[in-house]
Each structure stands twice: as structure tokens, then as C-alpha cells.
Amino acid sequence: MSVELKVPEVGESVTEVYIGEWRKSEGDRVELDEELVELESEKATFDAPAPAAGVLSKILKKSGDTAEVGEVIAYIDESGADAGSRIRENSAVEGPDSGILTNSATQGRLEPAVTPSARRLLREHGLDADDISPAEAGGRLTVEDVQQFLDQAEPEKRKSTREPERDGEPGRQTETVPMTAIRRRIAQRLVEAQKNAALLTTFNEIDMTAVNALRREYREAFQEKYGIKLGFMSFFVKAAVDALNQFPQLNARIDGSNIVYHNYCDVGVAIGSDKGLVVPVLRNAERMSFAEIEKTIDDLGRRARDGKLSVEELQGGTFTISNGGIYGSLLSTPIVNPPQSGVLGMHAIQDRPVVRDGQIVIRPMMYVALSYDHRIVDGREAVTFLRRLRDAIEEPARMLLEV
């Protein structure tokens, strides 16, 4: 009996997925709930499990294809013979003392189990899983195993698997690859934001002296107690929550002819990954401590890079913070993530001359930008919001005293 493997429901408004890597080939034995194929939606990457045990009899959608939610992409034959683990055969020769066929030298090798993130890294560098031994004998091949192999490998082993299309002239090459589902969705949403919202950006600059001093003073104690570094982002999340409570228009959204105000702060934090920009959400950031914010962002960042974020973790933010400073950006105008009405852009910290008490001094300064939807946020609220945030960062005690 054949069982259909269908694209599962992957979240509200998602209708199409991108077929990634198949973990098995046609004719391979699969077990119930075994990770079978990598699927990439506009919001997250995940693995579809096998709905039954049997043999993967037919693959209808290949890697790189798109499929709609609910569409059949493969068949599993429940009555198929148990093929066991797939063995990669070397050349078969006749044994010297028997009349049977055996593998020359190695008797074949079992293909190791591989984590999804490790498979992606293997694919990027044109490597085979059986070229690398897991650190733990008999264990799964992890991304750390692959990275260690790459660090020790010869330069020629680090080649890309994608071959450029040549236009016939030496030195002039092009490479055409399909946009991923996430990249297509990013493009669509950015165009929608520019088209449907009245976007405007206001700027300010922040003296980071006080925050730098606090981080230096409490760095070791904080890390020893919580097991995580005290970064800049927790200060900005806290300051943003404080400002959002004062100016709720920045924490609202338009619904038809109505304005929906939120009495909570679900702050999205933009994170770059090899798939594109993703914005996981800190739920109820107003209730989180500095340590909880830092731990959550660290966890979300690692899982974003490994493609392990769930759809739910990427939905429902009420405000967004984007830190272009980690890439060296000095100034930019971030684009609002609809249906939100505001996004804060952080930038690189640079020592600059400023005037303090009539004297020119050198201070670590950061430009910040607030882009907002002018349909529900007036310039006065936007400018005052950013000034409130600046004051909270320059005097962090204000966030603790709530003044």
C-alpha cells in the first residue's frame, strides 16, 4: 500500500514551500517519523517526517522545486521489503575462497546519520557525508564535525557545488540560482511596505559611555551568574519597551479603518542568516530581565543560522529592532516590517568629538534611526520616542527607576 507524503500546514498565510534536500533516495528504507525532506517556507526551514515506515518508492518533487501546501511530493510503499541502511558499494569482486561477491577492501560503508545543519554545510562545500567521521563514534555527523573537517582540508576541497554559467568569453561568468522562499517573501514584504505604508525616518545619536562603563564593570559577574555575555541588545530592548509604553502608537498596527493597540511588547530582533533576514520575536519583552533577553537572543540567533526556528517564533511581532552596526553600518533607513508601525535601526559605535559642558571631548557615539508609518504615528511622537530611548541608554538607571 502506498502512503502519500504531503506538504504539511506550516503556518498562517503560507501557501507554498521550496523543496530542499531529500534525506533519502528512491528505493531507500524509511522509518515512521524519520526526517525525510527539508522544506523551506517564506518564514522558516524545517524537515517533513515520513508518515509511515516502508520504502520511498517515488519522489515527485526534486530539490529546487516548489510545492503547494497539501500537495503530494512523494510516495512510501508500506509493503516494500526492508532495505536496511543504504550501503555505498565499492567495486564488487569475487572472493578468493568463496563463490560469492564481496566488497573489495572495505566491505562497503554505512552512510552516517547527519544533522540538517551539517547537511547544508556539506552541500555548500561539495562534500559527501561518508568523507567525514563523527566526533562521537556511531553518533550523528554534526555541523561542528563538518566545520572541523573544512578547517583542516586543503583549499581545493572547499569548492562550491554550483557551477557558473559561462557566456562564452573568458573571465566573464554568470551564475543563476533560484530565489529561496524566504528571499522571495522578503522581497515581497519590502515592496508591500514601501507601497502600502507612509514611511518616514527620523534620526538621533546616542552617547554609549554609560552603557560601556556598565558592561565593563559587570561583565564578569554577569557572565559568571547567567552564563551569557552582557551585550548591547538587552539595553536597547529595555529602552525600546520603555519608550513604547510612553508612545503606544509605535506599538500599534492598522487594521482596515481601525488602529489596534497592544498592551504587550513582542519585540522582533532582525537576524541575518545564509537564507536571508529573519525576525524572531521576543514575546512579552516587557517582562524579561537583561539576562533573559540576552539568553533568548543568543538562542534565537544560533537556531536562525541553523535553520531551526519554528514558524511561530517568527510571527506576531509588534515592533522590530535591527542592528546593522554588527556589519559596520554607520547610518541607514530601516524599512518597517508590516503590519507593524515602527522599526529601530542601530548602527556602529564610533569615537567622535562632541561638546559636553562647553568642552570638546571624544565619546563613543551611535547613530540610531526610527522608521515609522506616518499614517498612525506623527512626527512629534516619533521624534520624542527616539529622544526617550536615547535618554534611557545614556542614563540606564532611568530604566530601573522607571522615570
Cα separation, 216 vs 74, whole angstroms: 56
Q: Is 249 helix (H, G, I), strand (E, B) or coil?
A: helix
Q: Which residues are catalytic?
A: 374, 378
Give the C-alpha distances (Å, rounded to integers) separating 165 from 117, 157, 183: 27, 21, 22
Q: Do you know the residue count of the chain?
A: 403
Q: Give dist(CA 223, CA 215) in Å, integer.
A: 11
Helices and strands in the chain: count of H runs, count of E runs: 8, 25
Q: Residue 291 burial by CB count (10 A; 0-12/13-18/19+): exposed, middle or buried?
A: middle
Sign of CA dihedral 377, 378, 382, 387: negative
**CA dihedral of residues 140, 142, 148, 153 (deg, nearest 10):** 80
Nearest to 266 by CA among 233, 241, 239: 241
Residue 114 gets which letter from DSSP?
B
